[in-house]
Homo-oligomer: A and B are copies of this chain.
Amino acid sequence: MGKSYEQIQVGDQGHFEKTITETDIYLFAGITGDLNPAHVNQRVAESSMFKGRIAHGMLSAGLISAVLGMYLPGPGTIYLSQNLKFMAPVYIGDTIKAVAEVIEKMEKGRVRLKTTCYNQDGKIVLDGEAVVIAPKESC
């Protein structure tokens, strides 16, 4: 599980995939306080441009956090920054794959990764980059 700064190479990839449920969205709403009608109000959401309730963008971002903290670099990673572009909606029942790919080994143990979430049709729903401090030793 996980790689140290030493072991990491540009091009390394990690991923995590999960089907997003209504339960995920409702619990996420409660945790964050984001009970925006787009997420929890079917009547309003179905008359919006998205035609139905959608997941919080930060929920998909959480899957990226899972990849970085669990797999690449993995446990011991310190999360410094993340850029996020919300490209397409995620609906209840969509299966989202978060992928992180190392694009640069920086100084002081830092690593830059391209971070992307795809839905089950291969469409990019979330795009961006992360910078982390990789662990000195893998766990």
User: A18 and B30: CB pair below 8 A?
Assistant: no
Residues on B with C-beta less than 8 A from A59 are 31-32
Contact among B26, B28, B33, B57 for A70, CB-based, below 8 A: B33
Q: Which residues of B contact A39 (CB under 8 A)?
A: 69
Q: Which residues A27-51 have CB closer than 8 A to chain B?
A: 27-44, 48-49
Residues of A1-59 at the interface with B, using a CB-CB cut-off of 8 Å, are: 1, 16-19, 21-24, 26-44, 48-49, 53, 56-59
| Complex: A49 Cα to B21 Cα, angstroms | 22
A61 CA to B82 CA, complexed, in Å: 10
Q: Which residue of B lies closest to A17 (CB)?
A: B41
Contacts of A38 in B (CB 8 A): 69, 75
3 closest A-B pairs by beta carbon, nearest first, are A30-B30, A32-B62, A36-B69
A84 within 8 Å of B by Cβ?
yes
Given known contacts A26-B21, A75-B38, A93-B42, A84 and B82 CB-to-CB distance under 8 angstroms: yes
Distance in angstroms from A56 CB to nearest chain B CB is 6
Among B32, B57, B65, point to the contact of A34 (Cβ < 8 A): B65
